[in-house]
Structure 1
Amino acid sequence: MSLDDLSAAMQDSYSEFDDDLTVSLDRETRNELAMLETALEPDETDELVRRAIHMLFQSSVETGSLDFHLRSGFDVTYDEYLSGMTFDEMTGADQYPTMDDERRYQF
């Protein structure tokens, strides 16, 4: 997989989301959501879900978990996705031909 594959997968996922996203909650999640809503008193429960997604995303970026999964699935990192270029493309490493070790030091 590549940077282009990741971009295509992101566009596909984004287009599948409607304005209203229905999520089923298990008992533990429902209990935790009720506690957060009671304690934080947001205007709407949706606000807590948005915050939770932001926190999970930020945590995944900071711990390197997102990069690990992106590297495993698409062979790119989040920084490469943001820049639109792979590290090799940024440094020019993909522009040079491979070295032939047998003839490397022959004149």
Structure 2
Amino acid sequence: MSLDDLNDAVQRSYRDLGDDLTVDLDRETRTELAFLTTMLDPDDPDELVRRALHQFFQTTVETGRADFHLRSGFDVTYDEYLSGMTYEEMTGAPSPPENDGRRYQF
């Protein structure tokens, strides 16, 4: 797969989500959301769900899990997705070695 395939898949997923998303909560998740809602007192509990999704996304990118899954499924990295070009297209050189140890720290 390629960067174009990834872009197409993201656009398809975005369309499939639509404007409203209904999520069923299990008991544990409902309890945790109730606790966070009580503690943080947001205007709307949906705000906490949005914050949680942002945090999960950020963690997935920062830990390299996004790159792992993108490389496995589409043969690109998150940086390549953001730039719209593969590393080879940007530099003319082959892809850098997998996780050279400088970008992601655990």
TM-score (norm 1): 0.84
Matched residue, 2:32? 32
Deviation at 1:17, TM superposition (A): 1.7
Deviation at 1:20, TM superposition (A): 1.4
Equivalences for 1:61-72 in 2 at 5 Å? 61-72=61-72
Note the residue ranges of structure 1 that are not aligned, 5 or more in a row. 95-107
> What are the Cα deviations for residues 58-92 of structure 1, in whole angstroms up to 9, with x where unaligned?
10111111111111111100000011111111111
Deviation at 1:93, TM superposition (A): 3.0
Count of aligned positions: 94
Q: Percent identity?
A: 72
1:92 has 2:100 as partner: no
Q: CA RMSD in A?
A: 1.0
Give 3-state SS (helix, strand or coil) of 2:53's partner: helix
Note the residue ranges of structure 2 that are not aligned, 5 or more in a row. 95-106
Hey, what's the Cα distance between the residues in 1 that align with 2:62 and 2:69? 13
Letter of the 1:67 counterpart: D
> What are the Cα deviations for residues 5-46 of structure 1, in whole angstroms up to 9, with x where unaligned?
000000000111222100011111111111111101000011
| Structure 1 stretches of at least 4 aligned residues deviating more than 6 Å after TM superposition | none
TM-score (norm 2): 0.85
Letter of the 1:33 counterpart: L
Give 3-state SS (helix, strand or coil) of 1:93's partner: coil
1:3 has 2:6 as partner: no
Q: Which has the larger radius of gyration?
A: 1
Matched residue, 1:103? none
